[in-house]
Chain A
Amino acid sequence: NAGVTQTPKFQVLKTGQSMTLQCAQDMNHEYMSWYRQDPGMGLRLIHYSVGAGITDQGEVPNGYNVSRSTTEDFPLRLLSAAPSQTSVYFCASRGVNQPQHFGDGTRLSIL
């Protein structure tokens, strides 16, 4: 099984550009989440979803949009990239009362 797949693995953007980070899981998990990891800050929750068509904000949602049109996919959109969004982004999925499975991350640099 592929598990949680994130694309791209690396990306460099200029300030003001937009992009979408892709996340797909093949485990039929209801719950999916996006985190960002910054030095000294740990993992901070950006947005999460409890099923197709349902999303909610996490700890640091500003500057990011999400949608969940299918169970498998949970893309994260940066509408106008800012240097403060330079980070490593992780997508995770889980079943009910189960631990999360993480992707390998997307390393994003905003110049």
Chain B
Amino acid sequence: AQSVAQPEDQVNVAEGNPLTVKCTYSVSGNPYLFWYVQYPNRGLQFLLKYITGDNLVKGSYGFEAEFNKSQTSFHLKKPSALVSDSALYFCAVRDSTYDKIIFGKGTRLHILP
């Protein structure tokens, strides 16, 4: 069975500092990995995805994520945080042998001015 874990419920970062939001996954086949962001009272917005290719994936709003197959991780990163990055972030995984996409529990990111 596929699963995804976000070990931190909340991450606090000072504005201008680099940020990392952690995600690990478990699949039986090849992983398709995604990051989404959710602002209050809204649906989820897509940030970036890894299907195949380069391990460093660049996405929207200056975010990037690094795929690490040996550690089964897909951490979200940004070199310099903005207050406007404060939101709820979800990691999601799809096993290549199945059609369903499973989400983690989410990590709330607080960027402190």
Contacts and interface: CB of A to CB of B under 8 A. Distances in A.
Tell me what chain B mostly uses at the interface: helix, strand, loop, or mixed: strand
B49 interface: yes
B101 A33 contact: yes
B100 A56 contact: yes
Interface in A28-66: 31, 33, 35, 40-45, 48, 50, 56, 58-59
23 contacts: A31-B99, A33-B100, A35-B103, A40-B9, A41-B105, A42-B103, A42-B106, A43-B90, A43-B106, A45-B100, A45-B101, A48-B99, A50-B99, A56-B99, A56-B100, A58-B100, A90-B43, A99-B34, A99-B46, A99-B49, A101-B46, A102-B36, A104-B42
A45 B46 contact: no
Contacts of B44: 43, 90, 92, 100, 102
A102 B9 CA distance: 22
Q: Is the interface of A mostly helix, strand, loop or mixed?
A: strand
A103 B43 contact: yes
Interface in B37-93: 42-46, 49, 51, 90, 92
Contacts of A45: 100-103
B6 to A, nearest CB: 8
Interface string B89-113: 0101000000111111110000000
A42 B100 contact: no
A42 B90 contact: yes
A47 to B, nearest CB: 9
Closest A-B pairs by Cβ, 4 of them: A42-B105, A102-B43, A43-B103, A99-B46
Contact of B51 (A31, A35, A97, A101): A97
Contacts of A43: 44, 90, 103, 106
A34 B102 CA distance: 11
Given A40-B9, A40-B105, A105-B43, 6 more contacts: A42-B106, A43-B44, A48-B99, A48-B100, A100-B92, A102-B44
B30 to A, nearest CB: 11
Nearest to B46: A99
B40 to A, nearest CB: 11
